[in-house]
Amino acid sequence: MRKVQKHYDEVAEIYDRRYDREQGRQYYDHISRQVLGCLDGGAFILDIGCGTGLFMERYLARGGSAIGIDISRGMIRRARDRCPMSEFVVGDGQALPFAGGTFDAVASLLAFSYVREPARMLSEVYRVLKPGGRLALCTLGRNMLTSMVPALYRIGELIEVKGIGVGDFGEHYYTEDEMVVLLEGTGFSEVTVKRCSFAHVAMAKPFFEIARRVEPFVEERVPRLAYNICASAIKPRP
């Protein structure tokens, strides 16, 4: 995780250029809506891997409150500027520095793939949730297209391409079945897993616009072509 931390410290200043402008913002809006749709407004949530606070900003606009945690100090500095009334913590999702039963919900966008011990992180999430609390996350999904991405990113690192997420970080691209096994194995109930997003931020603009138009059809009829996985689950009440 130290390599991931160093990378995101280095790209913190340009992160929002990718995800908060033009097609990057459209992409991030889309995956955010998938996660927001699983959460109640007005709740107290923890955002794991909060980055520069892009998702927290969207959630706070619904009247809720949130704490963000991220391993990158650089990202946290920018998140504090974006959401000055919220609390942020530099830390690891695999060892959450919060008491049990603290949060109404936990969210995570585009961070779970970096986690070395996913079962450990989910156990921590389960611990800090209140009974009846919900987890909603969006992570990288595995399909024919995304299976090639890690190799391309490793090549990019070797030839010193400077880009967000470019490098050999050992990310894991999940299938729906893997997510179900992980969540149910942790003790979560009412597990739902679906694929989302076909218009990817890295696409050239003409292809991105075409992908946006067919995205609803892909997500409904041929979800295997979608790039991300959104999962939701509840911590059962006693």
Percent of the chain with pLDDT over 70: 86
Q: Which residues is 105 bridged to in the sheet?
A: 45, 134
CATH of the domain at 69: 3.40.50.150
Tally of domains in the chain: 1
Contact 148, 174 (CB under 8 A): no
Domain that holds residue 26: 2-234
Q: Write the pLDDT tens digit of every residue in 100-132.
A: 999 999 999 999 998 999 999 999 999 999 999
Q: How far apart are CA 41 and CA 43, in angstroms?
A: 6
The arithmetic mean of pLDDT across residues 210-215, rounded, is: 92
Q: How far apart are CA 64 and CA 218, in angstroms?
A: 32
pLDDT at 204 over 80: yes
The answer to which of 14-18, 121-125, 159-163, 198-202 has the lowest mean pLDDT is 159-163
Burial 129-140 (b: 16+ CB within 10 A, else e): bbeebbbbbbbb
Burial 51-81 (b: 16+ CB within 10 A, else e): bbbbbbbbbbeeebebbbbbbbebbbebbbe
Contact 70, 92 (CB under 8 A): no
